[in-house]
Amino acid sequence: MIRLNARFAGVLTLVALSLPVIGAAQQQDVPAAPTPDASTAAPTAPAPVAPPVLPKPDPANFTAASPTKETVSAFLQTSWGYDDNRLWQVQAIEKTQVEGLSKVVILVADKTGKQKTGMLQFYVFPDGKHAIAGDEILPFGEHPYADTRAQLQQRADGPYRGAAVKDLEMVEFADFQCPHCKEAQANMDKLAVDFPKARIVFENYPLPQHSAAAQAAAYGVCVAKQGGSTAFFTFASAVFEGQDGLATPDGATLTLNSAVTKAGLEPAKIGACAATPEAIANVEASKKLALDLNINQTPMLIVNGRLITIGGIPYDTLKRIVDFQAKQDGIAQ
């Protein structure tokens, strides 16, 4: 996972990109009992695991008129409902010294009892559409992803595979020189197979620390322009496969030209196109879209407005989130 800065550290969860547990309940770990000798210990059945019992909320801690407990619960269900083992409870919605700014306290637990109960604290802005956790501003409400979804439907115009319609739209922001973006492509290919009705869009987000990323992005723009989306994804696959070659200027030229050839196009024409102001402006527009959406790392996948950090995420978890979001949006698979 390549980061532009450390703002997400301790604030965002790996897959929900929503609200983390930012403080654990004060508990002491009990030392483990001595392990009985295997030859003499009688076999015992594993003890049943029961969900933790959360303390009953005190009505005196609900002093703010907004947001309502129902709105907070709907927000958490939208954010975390994909995880059947996650358990949460709204403990407080309190006024603060700032007019209209409310403090929300949540208890979060694991139904299996394997993890300690934690406390989550965040603040909801007077507009009811944004929250702040740590130093990060997040979308809030019963439908927190609606605005981002609308922006992407209007502005994400990169090459795509799958459906032409945008009912279920997955937009990937990636950097051709990012190692974790390369690793994520296997999961992206699986998503294309498992969600044939989805529209999967590729948006360039070359990071400044990668010397050949912007050039590779411009090449990709021209490949898509001259050969269409099918040629682009052939090109992209070849560039990611030969990513190590992007480390030097000569290697980058060879790697990109080879990928263009595999896409069935002429390297000289694509290279000339990639140097034009039009191609460069296209890459810059894609970068601006990412920044407007407060994306500061790659690879990032946005599913109907829901941001998912996909670097290193297990595919089963990713698929479960996409399934859940599609159901939330009333999309039949």
Asked whether residue 282 carries a pLDDT value surpassing 90, the answer given is yes
Specify the range with the lowest mean pLDDT, choosing from 42-46, 137-141, 149-153, 175-179: 42-46
Predicted local confidence at residue 9, as pLDDT: 28
Predicted local confidence at residue 12, as pLDDT: 32
Predicted local confidence at residue 44, as pLDDT: 59
Of 16 and 239, the structure prediction assigns the larger pLDDT to: 239
Alpha carbon distance 139, 294 (integer Å): 11
Give CATH superfamily name and number for 147-328.
Glutaredoxin (3.40.30.10)
Predicted local confidence at residue 52, as pLDDT: 84
**CB-facing half-sphere around the CA of 331: CA atoms within 13 A:** 20
Q: Which DSSP helix (H) or strand (E) runs through 302?
A: strand 300-303
Residue 12: left (phi > 0), alpha (psi -120 to 50), or beta? beta
Give per-residue pLDDT as tens, 48-68.
567 788 999 999 999 999 999
Asked whether residue 14 carries a pLDDT value surpassing 60, the answer given is no
SS3 208: coil
Predicted local confidence at residue 38, as pLDDT: 45
Predicted local confidence at residue 160, as pLDDT: 98
The full set of domain ranges for the chain reads 19-25+52-143, 147-328
Give per-residue pLDDT as tens, 226-257.
999 999 999 999 999 999 999 999 999 999 99
Asked whether residue 18 carries a pLDDT value surpassing 60, the answer given is no
